[in-house]
């Protein structure tokens, strides 16, 4: 073992009564691996077993819908009904069997939902559709859906739950001045716009007690009229003061990810780390940095300089599930790298197809194909 090369990366961390064996987490990554209708599939179990076996301390399962009307795609995982319990228990089980902590991220897609009647804070069009503005009664109903979903996360054996306030989904839509044009107590100032997610957090806390709750945090939408870091750090401070276990920082939404300047930015190593660093100055809870942190050397540097407390690996870990073990053994040069010039996985996801990595060998790709009903391109 050569952990001395990366002493900060392999240092344990206490988190709301949990012990993370190192500072490496798997950040939530949507790949379209759930079965049609939102149940856990054999491929999803296989995928998360590999991710947990990697040696990462915490595995965050992505984007489970709190309601059928909040699904971002037909293959979004669901946790809004008891019929999803068996699969979710199996999913938590395969992760914990590999000695990793298991988190489930819960979400409502809002204006990005794959439904005929999407809802949002305000009727702001997106991708040719105009969502319906939520009424005050509906706002309360959605908050209750988040709380009920969090209770199911706890009951199915996960170690913690993460509220999805990133990617421009519903929680983030309320915080954004671009998507929130309301004139009631949920719109206007940043204090009003962050009211909905803070109330949702409080309702979840009241439901699950001391069960740890993380938050996926949108620091900057990278849109001309969108949420900026100057405002989002105010919200981050409020989340910290109100008892979240950690803040997992990201930038961008579906409306900005494919803008030329954002595409260029996303090709750079550690392209979202500056956002995490800015948020960290305003909070007293651990902060997760992510965004093409492709090498152990970069991850160690981020931690050593105090820019973040934890590292979130998504496509980097998916491309090479042995990333953590290779880093621990001093074999960083053997890591299979996620190429910044390749976006095949995202292109498949945007088409509603299950993703695969072009860097995988034939056997790995075949294993994934065999577990999914669809064939994928050769």
For 19-75, how does the pLDDT look when each residue is reduced to its tens digit (9 = 90+)? 999 999 999 999 999 998 999 999 999 999 999 999 999 999 999 999 999 999 988
- Which has the closest alpha carbon to 13: 22, 4, 5? 22
Average model confidence (pLDDT) for the chain?
A: 94
Q: What average pLDDT score do residues 157-180 get?
A: 98
**What is the CATH number assigned to the segment(s) 3-370?**
3.20.20.70
Confidence of residue 378 (pLDDT cuts 50, 70, 90): very low
Q: What average pLDDT score do residues 206-210 get?
A: 97
Alpha helices in the chain (DSSP H): 42-53, 85-97, 136-155, 170-175, 190-193, 195-208, 229-241, 260-266, 273-280, 296-304, 315-319, 323-328, 344-350, 362-370
Token pair recorded at residue 256: 């900005």
| Residues 219-248: tens digit of each pLDDT | 999 999 999 999 999 999 999 999 999 999
pLDDT for the residue numbered 3: 62
**C-alpha–C-alpha distance, residues 319 and 338, integer Å:** 6
135 DSSP assignment: P
| Residues 240-298: tens digit of each pLDDT | 999 999 999 999 999 999 899 999 999 999 999 999 999 999 999 999 999 999 999 99
Query: How is the chain split into domains, by residue range?
Result: 3-370
> Annotated active-site positions, please?
169
pLDDT for the residue numbered 36: 85
- Is residue 375 predicted with pLDDT exceeding 70? no
- Is residue 299 predicted with pLDDT exceeding 60? yes
List C-alpha distances in Å: 375 to 42, 47, 237: 15, 17, 46
**C-alpha–C-alpha distance, residues 286 and 305, integer Å:** 14
- Is residue 318 predicted with pLDDT exceeding 50? yes
Q: Cα torsion at 138, 215, 154, 199 (round to 10°)? A: -40
| Residues 21-32: tens digit of each pLDDT | 999 999 999 999
Confidence of residue 364 (pLDDT cuts 50, 70, 90): confident
**C-alpha–C-alpha distance, residues 333 and 339, integer Å:** 15
| Residues 110-137: tens digit of each pLDDT | 999 999 999 999 999 999 999 999 999 9
Query: For the whole model, what pTM was predicted?
Result: 0.95
């Amino acid at each position: 073992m050569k952990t001395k090369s990366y002493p900060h990366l392999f240092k344990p961390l206490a988190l709301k009564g949990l012990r993370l064996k190192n500072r490496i987490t798997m950040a939530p990554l949507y790949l379209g691996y759930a079965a049609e209708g939102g149940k856990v599939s054999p491929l999803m179990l296989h995928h998360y077993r590999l991710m947990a076996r990697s040696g990462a301390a915490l595995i965050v399962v992505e984007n489970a819908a709190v309601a059928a009307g909040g699904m971002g795609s037909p293959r979004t995982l669901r946790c809004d009904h008891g019929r999803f319990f068996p699969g979710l228990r199996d999913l938590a089980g395969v992760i914990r069997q590999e000695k990793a902590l298991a988190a489930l991220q819960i979400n409502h897609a809002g204006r990005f939902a794959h439904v005929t009647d999407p809802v949002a804070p305000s009727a702001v069009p997106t991708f040719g559709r105009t969502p319906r503005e939520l009424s005050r009664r509906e706002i309360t109903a959605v908050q209750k859906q988040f709380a009920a979903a969090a209770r199911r996360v706890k009951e199915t054996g996960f170690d913690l739950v993460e509220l999805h306030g990133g990617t421009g989904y519903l929680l983030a839509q309320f915080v954004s001045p671009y998507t929130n044009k309301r004139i009631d107590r949920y719109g206007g100032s940043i204090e009003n716009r962050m009211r909905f997610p803070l109330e949702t957090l409080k309702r979840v806390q009241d439901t699950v007690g001391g069960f740890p709750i993380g938050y996926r945090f949108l620091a900057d939408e990278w849109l001309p009229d969108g949420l900026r870091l100057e405002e989002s750090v105010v919200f981050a401070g409020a989340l910290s003061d109100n008892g979240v276990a950690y803040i997992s920082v990201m930038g961008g939404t579906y409306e900005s990810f494919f803008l030329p300047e954002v595409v260029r930015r996303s090709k750079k190593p550690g392209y979202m780390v500056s956002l995490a660093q800015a948020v960290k100055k305003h909070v007293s809870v651990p902060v997760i940095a992510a965004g093409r942190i492709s090498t152990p050397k970069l991850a160690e540097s981020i931690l050593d300089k105090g820019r973040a407390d934890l590292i979130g690996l998504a496509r980097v870990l998916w491309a090479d599930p042995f990333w953590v073990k290779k880093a621990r053994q001093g074999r960083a040069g053997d890591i299979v790298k996620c190429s910044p010039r390749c976006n095949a996985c995202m292109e498949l996801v945007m088409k509603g197809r299950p993703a695969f990595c072009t860097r995988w060998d034939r056997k790995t790709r075949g294993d994934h194909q065999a577990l999914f009903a669809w064939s994928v391109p050769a």
